[in-house]
Amino acid sequence: MSEVSQLSRSRRPKWHYLAVGVGLIVVAIALTVAWGILAAPEAAGARGVAPARVIAYFFGSLMFLLLIAGLVLIVMLLLREVRLNERQSNFVSAVTHELKTPVASLKLYLETLEYRDVPPERRAEFYRTMRQDIERLNATINNVLNAAMYTDRPVADPRPLDLARLARHAAELTLTRHQLAKTAIRYAGPDSLRVAGDPQALETAVLNLLDNAVKYSKDKLMIELEVWGDADGQAHVRVRDHGIGMSRTQLPFIFTRFYRIGAEVRRSKTGTGLGLFIVRAIVKGHRGSITVDSPGPDRGSTFTITLPGLLEPESEANGAPEAARA
């Protein structure tokens, strides 16, 4: 009930425009049908009908069909615009919240320390809180900057890198950032798996996936991180969580910029709706692909990155040329 009222409050005006568009299409179709019925018997039935009449009938029908096609196109573009608009306004809301909340908290604790006589043990706790707020602020800023920096354009300067080590490092960073037990993320994969790419970008991608897995895991924190290479020369990174998952209808949208599940004002998870968009941009920049699968809400999600360009093990690990090793 509350959800409906919230949605109708924010979406009503836009749906009005769409309703007008759909109404126009219906009118155009009705006109076309009427034209067909009224003009056709004469054109098709009677013999000695002037060819000019037949041509007029043919072009008239064509014009009607073009009109309908044009209207459908306009409505589709409008629908796309409406969705983008909605996501952008969600993004502004989310970023406002993500930037202002830690700033408000920092300000509150600074002023508390300034105006109040805070006992030393509480003081230490306040400093810890303030450091976490700065981390959160920094993460949001990085997210926004990364979204602008990583585009689908191919990586300019791919370098050999160890994807397995990179993934393990991302896992360690995630454990530290979220203050998790070591068992929260389980790694399965080789000690080393070499691919060509941008190490910083790929680490951002794996970090974003792990970060999401933690964020959407509810109480049961059990994340599986797998890395493997296949016979086709492709490398894979898979992040699986047992968290809130998602429905089939949400799956196609989750890599879209600013997309977040649910209404912004009742948000329970922090974020800007940029994380997965950045992951996809990075993966595309490496000519790779990313897939997501979820059996349904509350049944976890699995993200799999596939990257081409698997390198021979140790091929350039010590700077040794291939020929020398062979």
Partner 1 sequence: MPRVLLVEDEEHLAAGIRFNLELDGYEVETIADGLRAVERLVPPPDGAAPAVAPAIDLVVLDVMLPGLDGFQIVERMRQAGNYTAVLMLTAKGLPEDVVEGLEAGADDYLPKPFDLPVLLARVKGLIRRREWARGAAGDAVKVGPAVVDFANFELRKGDEIVRLTLLEAMLLKLLVERRGQVVTKAEILEKVWNLNPDTETRAVDNFVMRLRRHLEEDARNPRLLLTVRGVGYRLAEE
Give the interface with partner 1 as residue ranges (CB under 8 A).
Answer: 2, 5-6, 93, 96-97, 100-109, 111-112, 115-116, 122, 126, 129, 132-133, 264-268
CB of 112 to partner 1, least distance (A): 6
Cα 126 from Cα 57, distance rounded (Å): 80
Comparing CB distances to partner 1, the nearer of 113 and 317 is 113
Comparing CB distances to partner 1, the nearer of 129 and 302 is 129
CB of 186 to partner 1, least distance (A): 28
Comparing CB distances to partner 1, the nearer of 80 and 116 is 116
Cα 187 from Cα 226, distance rounded (Å): 6
Exposed / middle / buried, residue 320 (Cβ in 10 Å: 0-12, 13-18, 19+): exposed
Instruction: Give yes or no for a contact between 292 and 212, defined as CB atoms under 8 angstroms apart.
Output: no
6: three-class secondary structure by DSSP: helix
14: three-class secondary structure by DSSP: helix
Using alpha carbons, list the distances in angstroms from residue 307 to 154, 172, 202, 276, 284.
Answer: 12, 22, 10, 16, 9
Comparing CB distances to partner 1, the nearer of 20 and 265 is 265
Comparing CB distances to partner 1, the nearer of 93 and 212 is 93
CB of 174 to partner 1, least distance (A): 19
Comparing CB distances to partner 1, the nearer of 134 and 188 is 134
Comparing CB distances to partner 1, the nearer of 9 and 159 is 9
Instruction: Give yes or no for a contact between 206 and 168, defined as CB atoms under 8 angstroms apart.
Output: no
CB of 180 to partner 1, least distance (A): 16
161: three-class secondary structure by DSSP: strand
Q: What are phi and psi of 217, to 5 degrees?
A: -95, -5
Q: Report CA dihedral (314, 319, 324, 325) to the nearest 10 degrees.
A: -20
For CA atoms 307, 311, 312, 318, give the dihedral sign.
negative
CB of 145 to partner 1, least distance (A): 21
Cα 244 from Cα 258, distance rounded (Å): 19
CB of 126 to partner 1, least distance (A): 8
CB of 266 to partner 1, least distance (A): 5
